[in-house]
Amino acid sequence: MSEFNHSRPANTDANAFTQSASPVEPAFQLPLPVAFIWGAFLLDGVITATVPNMPTDHSVLSAWQGGLDQLINFNTEVLAHLQQEVGHYQRHPLMPLVAAQWQRKPLPVPNVFEYLVVNALGEYIGKYILRKQGRLPTQLQCQRQIDLYLIHFFP
């Protein structure tokens, strides 16, 4: 069993993503090409999400009440928070393996993290939009999903 401590201060402010006066300061620097990959994987998860027993023509973009720019801005805030949370796992034994993929040259290769955490988080957001008639999940709900995915990825 790993001795890694998953405990960290809990963020209970449901509007923490959007109320901060300054951008979230990441706990570690994510290579810029990886940030692009994260953005693509999150958006892919959002827009390809489906919910059982819904018409196949009922897509996230048709259910979404705002503009695509608003959805992308929300996704960007979620990714900034994910980056901050991943920083809590810098000393986890799996992090060197994940980080090695992020450092590959000339370009990083998406790895299991992007599929199991980033894309899954996007799918959660997309399914929420579909189930809640076009509304976004709160920041607290996203925080809980991020925590869940990270705790399972970094056991």
Q: Which amino acid is at 51?
A: V
The reported pLDDT for the residue numbered 82 is 96
Q: What average pLDDT does the segment 78-84 reach? A: 95
User: pLDDT digit string (tens) for 3-29?
Assistant: 333 344 344 333 445 444 345 544 578
Q: What sign results for the dihedral spanned by CA atoms 113, 114, 119, 124?
A: positive
What is the per-residue pLDDT for 8? 42
Low-confidence winner among 6-20, 72-86, 109-123, 130-144 (lowest mean pLDDT): 6-20
Domain limits of the chain?
29-153
Task: Tell me the percentage of the chain whose pLDDT exceeds 90.
Answer: 55
Q: Is the peptide bond before 106 cis (omega within 30 degrees of 0)?
A: yes
Pair 130, 49: CB distance under 8 Å: yes
